Amino acid sequence: MSISQPQTKRAEGLPVASCWNCKGAVTGAHFCAACGKIQPLPAGWDYFKFFSFPQKLNIEPAALEGQFHILSWKLHPDNFVRATEFERNLSLERSSELNDAYRTLREPISRLEYLLERLGVRKEGTTKQQAPPELLEEVFELNESLDELREAREGGGDVAGLRARLETAAANFLDKLAEVDAELAKLGREWDAAIDSGSKSAKSESLVKMNEVMNRRSYIRNLVAGVQKELAEA
């Protein structure tokens, strides 16, 4: 599989800084265009910009991987073993950023979460969970079953029967999860369209919707994880 060079894009909206080595203008690129020296990460950069991608939620996996390989080749500490300590540190900084960026952008969910965090819609580290209203009854039943299973384990009740019920419930919720993911995919396409059109209102509407669905997703996922954990112990 051979990879062709992407076209270098000018990073938009970033202050033009000067290269620490030759004082030439650098616009957030990985290397100075004039002297080729590796550059520090500019403030305000994000993972999308790192890959020279627009802030769109649909990313062609092969394109991302291709860029990842090209950038790995260029930025890896192996290239800087005999360079100055300053450059070695820059290489460490950029290649760890590259790997973090790739890890995040690779999976659709982490990609979306990252976007929401960058745009201030979602606070990093805090996952709000929202019980989907249409599922409240099932959630209630599930929690009841979990309690019963715990009691049964201690008191010697019908563990097998309760396990079976929980397994069905878990499977049910996994289906719901798949539905949620499908909805997120649709919303992702809407976001991308809003990016293309440039409509501010479309963009903010899209963000709000996606955030809400993500909250629901977190809730369901934690539910399923809890059940699986309980089942694993029985």
> Minimum Å distance from CB 46 to other proteins?
14
For other proteins, how many residues bind (rule: CB under 8 A)? 24
Instruction: Give dist(CA 102, CA 61) in Å, integer.
Output: 11
Could you tell me which residues are beta bridge partners of residue 18? 25
**97 versus 183: smaller Cβ distance to other proteins:** 97
Per the structure block, which two tokens stand in for 196? 């293309």
| Backbone region of residue 125 per phi and psi (left: phi > 0; alpha: psi in -120 to 50; beta: other values) | left
Is 69 near other proteins (CB under 8 A)? yes
Using rule CB under 8 A, residue 97 touches other proteins: yes
Nearest-approach distance from CB 93 to other proteins, in angstroms: 8
DSSP assignments along 91-102, one per residue: HHHHHHHHHHHH
Residue (5 or 201) nearer to other proteins, CB: 5
CA–CA dist 114, 105 (Å, integer): 8
Tell me how many degrees the CA angle 130-134-137 measures, rounded to the nearest 5. 95
For other proteins, the binding residue among 20, 46, 52, 76 (CB under 8 A) is: 76
Nearer to other proteins, 97 or 205 (CB): 97
- To the nearest whole angstrom, how small is the minimum distance from the Cβ of residue 71 to other proteins? 11
Q: Closest approach of Cβ 128 to other proteins, in Å?
A: 18
| Spatial distance between the Cα atoms of 21 and 71, rounded to a whole number of angstroms | 21
Q: Which is nearer to other proteins, 27 or 127 (CB)?
A: 127
